[in-house]
Each structure stands twice: as C-alpha cells, then as structure tokens.
Amino acid sequence: MYFIVLYKMTCSFCPQVEYSLVPQDGSGGSSGLEDAFRIDPKSGVITTRSALDREQVEVYTVVVMATDQGLPSAGGQRSSTCTVVVHVIDDNDNYPQFTERTYTVQVPEDVNWNKNPVIAAVK
Ligand SMILES: [Ca+2]
Ligand SMILES: [Ca+2]
C-alpha cells in the first residue's frame, strides 16, 4: 500500500526553501525510514519508495526539516522541523496460519460420540 502525503510550509521572506528528511535514531541506528520514504526537496511532497508492510512497521514518525537559502550576510540559513506521523492501514494480505501443519489425534473406536464428541481442537 502506497501513501502520498502533501503539505506545504510557507515563509514569506524566504521563497527558496529546501525540504529534507531528518534521519531518526532507531534501534541499531536504522529505523528503515530512509528506505520507506523520500521527500522532494523543492515541493515537500513525501512519497513511499518501497512497499509498506503493516505487520513489520505500523507507524512511522517522519521528521521533516525545512531549510531556507539565507545568505551569510543575511544571518545565514535558518531551518525548522515538523513531524509527520504515518499510520500504515491494515490490509488483509496474510492467510490465517495454523500453529501446526499436521494434527494427529487418537480416538477410541468405541468413543461415546454422543456425550463426548470432541476429538481435537485446531488453532
Ligand atoms: Ca502485510
Ligand atoms: Ca495485513
């Protein structure tokens, strides 16, 4: 499932703003964020760059940085961040799974099928 998130940051004094994703410190230094999304530096449009799997990652927290092109003579570049929380909506893309591939049960041939008809429970 692919998502496109649209948003816009405005700055009346600095028309040239560049957008980037801020790498997040996940476990082991990788959150998979860089593999999952990209941002267009000019438009700020965030797009998926690979298939998302809710069973693997349900929520992404994307931190976007906007940096203006301020000149050193004008105080240098300025930047700010916002957070985009992406919830991956579940799709029914997995088959139900049994805990076992084969169940073996033994039933006496004289089982009282009327009073005790249960022979196995699968799950
Ligand atoms: Ca899935
Ligand atoms: Ca699913």
How many whole angstroms from 6 Cα to the centroid of ligand 1? 24
User: What pTM value is reported for the model?
Assistant: 0.67
Domain residue ranges of the chain, discontinuous segments joined by +: 4-87
Strand arrangement of the beta sheet that strand 17-22 belongs to: 17-22, 59-68, 79-87
> What are 8-60's pLDDT values in tens digits?
555 555 558 999 999 876 544 445 677 899 999 999 999 999 999 999 999 99
The pLDDT value recorded for residue 48 is: 95
Q: What percent of the chain has pLDDT over 90?
A: 66
The pLDDT value recorded for residue 108 is: 92
Q: What percent of the chain has pLDDT over 70?
A: 80
Q: In angstroms, rounded to a whole number, what is the distance separating the alpha carbons of residues 123 and 120? A: 10
| CATH 3.40.50.620 is the classification of domain 4-87 | no
**Token pair of 59 as six digits:** 């929520």
**Token pair of 35 as six digits:** 């593999």
Contact 85, 61 (CB under 8 A): yes
Residues with CB under 5 A from ligand 2 (ion): 54, 90, 93
Residues with CB under 5 A from ligand 1 (ion): 53, 55, 93
